[in-house]
Structure 1
Amino acid sequence: MHRIIGRRALLAAPVAAAPALAQDVFPSRPITIVNAYGAGGQTDIATRLTAERLGAAIGQRVVVENRVGGATSIASTYVAQARPDGYTLLAGTSSLAINPTLQPRLTPRDPRAELAPVGMVYRGAFVFHVYPGLPVRTLAEFIAYAKANPGKLNYGGVVGTVVHLATEMLCQRAGIEMTAVPNRGGVEGLLDLQAGRIHCNFQSPVEAMPSLQDGKTRALAISSRQRLPNLPDIPTVAETLPGFEAVLWMALFAPSGTPDPVIDKVGSALATVTADPDYQARMAQIGLAAETGSAADVRTLLAEDTVNWRKVITEAGIRTD
């Protein structure tokens, strides 16, 4: 016998609860890395290479967005004010350690409080090279020559960059006096050096190498504590001035308040990328040393660099206004 259920009974019957919608598992959509530097430059190339590899490691597309200007503050402020969900990251560089002292009106005023470190990407050393007409072939000879000619040597660089501050630190450590000739960096600084309008310059290996090979400039030292594998015959500044180091670094940052599990997931994927030999080789081709480092490592580096550059800026009396 079939049991017939009336319409009223059907309407009164309880409806089974629908399963709760599962929360999105991070990352469920593309991640954006905001880069403060122009397209095509060394930092931009490194950021795009990192984004491509990070996307493969984390299982989601990672895109790069360039927000140039404000001495990198436009990009860093944008990320600091973004939703803290891990989908907006900053390709933060040494400028985060420089700007709070050099340009305190820029935001974020305290990157250590407004941005959350995720992990290291690279460190980049500079070649200290000179106009070949100078009668010097070593850094020690250069320092002696500068001491014998106080204030007569010029150096170039964009005001407030690591290149500029590295030269100021060299002057302070060596006890020499030189005159700064500001430029827009890169090609302009190289042309000034080749023409003898300036006498020395710190420059990225990629920018300096063609000039060194053609004999248009002469390399004296490397700004990192270790010699560069692709330039093993060039000594470090630290071999003459112990403890000297001036490098441009990059790390990924998220907005402050981003959940720890999200930061850990991105940081883990980033560590996989930076430890990959092929990635390291690609970075070396553009003069950068890939570096694997945790969020804690980045936090320590940022704190130490902030103190170090504050000392250089204050002692040199550098102002941007």
Structure 2
Amino acid sequence: MTTRRALLAAPLALPAVARAQEAWPTRSIAVLLGYPPAGVTDFASRGVCERMGRALGQTVVLENRPGAATAVANTAVAQARPDGYTLLMGTSTLAINPALQPALTPRDPMRDLTPIGMVFRTAFVLHVHPSVPATTPAELIAYAKANPGKLNFGSSGTGAVNHLCLELFRARAGIDVVHVPYRGGAPALLDLRAGRIQGMFNAVQEALPAVREGATRALAISSKERAAAMPDLPPLADTLADFDGVFWQGLFGPAGLPAPIVARAGAALRDATTDPALIARMAEQGVALTTGDDAALRRTLAEETQMWGRLIREQNIRPE
């Protein structure tokens, strides 16, 4: 009898589920971010969440959940109910962690998360201390080859995207430079300004003041496209074909997130990433908002997981 009642009730339950999905959202939405307040990811995420909230007619609250190379936030969303009320501002770490720190969860973001859409891409500036006699990437490569092991390049930490950009540059250029990991980009930049290290890759908004002051010399941008904030800076790809190293961010939900919710959240996200006022505000910080649907985000995650995974294995990069 119980089985018969369940079978009879099932067709009635399906429309109720469909109506719930169509009505989404009926309450506030939490978007988790694996970084502390302040910084480019927090700044961009708050702007996007606020604009999405207007489009959805509900409050979209950003919750900072830093820890374990963003795995705390990533895992919390992967384990959440797929009802659209817990989402993730995922970043490049989703493509890096599986190879660099395979014990961290989610071990398979492609399986454990549902891509919704792209949020932004931000490139890195390759800049050096003025004591380095190079004004172009080609001159820097030539100087490094003539002085193997004598140039020290900083990063914000082993496995950070700016570190991986350095490793990609070092491998592609065939040069021997020393990697000096720091606990964050700020102390590394201080040492670069002082000449205690000779170069590094910095996010545009971090490098720009030092370059404008003449404390460092910018040689190239790490993305294939030029940066709006530094339009005269050539892409490193002009010297090393197809070089492309960026930090990206995208919106994800738990695995099994219903298609209607993905579509509605994706539409609200597009409203945010195409909003002229928000685009201008982000550009001032060197952040290029990116419009891309769930397929584009899925493709980005797959391609970068392969690219960074291969680099991490080939260069035998290990966490600190």
Q: Which residues of structure 2 form unaligned runs of 5+? A: 1-14
The alpha-carbon deviation at position 283 of structure 1 amounts to: 1.1
Q: Could you tell me which residue of structure 2 aligns to residue 90 of structure 1?
A: 88
Q: Could you tell me which residue of structure 2 aligns to residue 4 of structure 1?
A: none
Q: Could you tell me which residue of structure 1 aligns to residue 275 of structure 2?
A: 276
The alpha-carbon deviation at position 186 of structure 1 amounts to: 2.3
Distance 2:233 2:134 in 1: 14
Distance 2:292 2:208 in 1: 28
> Is it true that 1:69 corresponds to 2:87 in the alignment?
no
Sequence identity (%): 53
Question: 3-state DSSP class of the match of 1:125?
Answer: strand
Q: How does 1:1-321 map to 2 (within 5 A)?
A: 24=20, 25-157=23-155, 158-320=157-319
Worse-matched range after superposition: 70-79 or 268-277:
268-277
Question: 3-state DSSP class of the match of 1:124?
Answer: strand
Task: Give the TM-score normalised by structure 1.
Answer: 0.92
Distance 1:233 1:72 in 2: 34
Letter of the structure 2 residue corresponding to residue 266 of structure 1: A
The alpha-carbon deviation at position 155 of structure 1 amounts to: 0.9
Query: Deviation per CA, 1:220-276, whole angstroms, max 9, x where unpaired?
Result: 000110111221111110011110000000000000011111111100111121112
Distance 1:177 1:233 in 2: 28
Letter of the structure 2 residue corresponding to residue 199 of structure 1: Q
Distance 2:86 2:203 in 1: 28
The alpha-carbon deviation at position 196 of structure 1 amounts to: 1.6
- In 2 relative to 1, CA 181–91 (structure 1 residues): closer, same or farther, beyond 3 Å? same
Query: Deviation per CA, 1:31-52, whole angstroms, max 9, x where unpaired?
Result: 1110111101111010000100
Letter of the structure 1 residue corresponding to residue 72 of structure 2: I
Distance 2:236 2:265 in 1: 35
The alpha-carbon deviation at position 124 of structure 1 amounts to: 0.4
Letter of the structure 2 residue corresponding to residue 100 of structure 1: P
Distance 1:303 1:227 in 2: 24
The alpha-carbon deviation at position 192 of structure 1 amounts to: 1.2
Distance 2:193 2:284 in 1: 24
Is 2:52–2:268's contact at 8 Å kept on the other side of the alignment? yes
Moved over 3 A (4+): 20-24
Distance 1:134 1:167 in 2: 17
Letter of the structure 2 residue corresponding to residue 59 of structure 1: G
Distance 2:247 2:229 in 1: 18
Q: Which residues of structure 1 form unaligned runs of 5+? A: 1-19
Distance 1:256 1:21 in 2: 21
Question: 3-state DSSP class of the match of 2:256?
Answer: coil
Q: How many residues align?
A: 302
Letter of the structure 2 residue corresponding to residue 142 of structure 1: L
Question: 3-state DSSP class of the match of 1:32?
Answer: strand
Worse-matched range after superposition: 22-31 or 184-193:
22-31
Distance 2:222 2:16 in 1: 54
Letter of the structure 2 residue corresponding to residue 81 of structure 1: Q
- Alignment RMSD: 1.4
Distance 2:184 2:238 in 1: 27
Distance 1:117 1:192 in 2: 38
The structure that has the greater radius of gyration is 1
Query: Deviation per CA, 1:174-202, whole angstroms, max 9, x where unpaired?
Result: 01011111102221111011112211111
Q: Could you tell me which residue of structure 2 aligns to residue 6 of structure 1?
A: none
Is 2:222–2:245's contact at 8 Å kept on the other side of the alignment? yes
Task: Give the TM-score normalised by structure 2.
Answer: 0.92
Question: 3-state DSSP class of the match of 1:242?
Answer: coil
Distance 2:231 2:272 in 1: 26
The alpha-carbon deviation at position 21 of structure 1 amounts to: 8.8
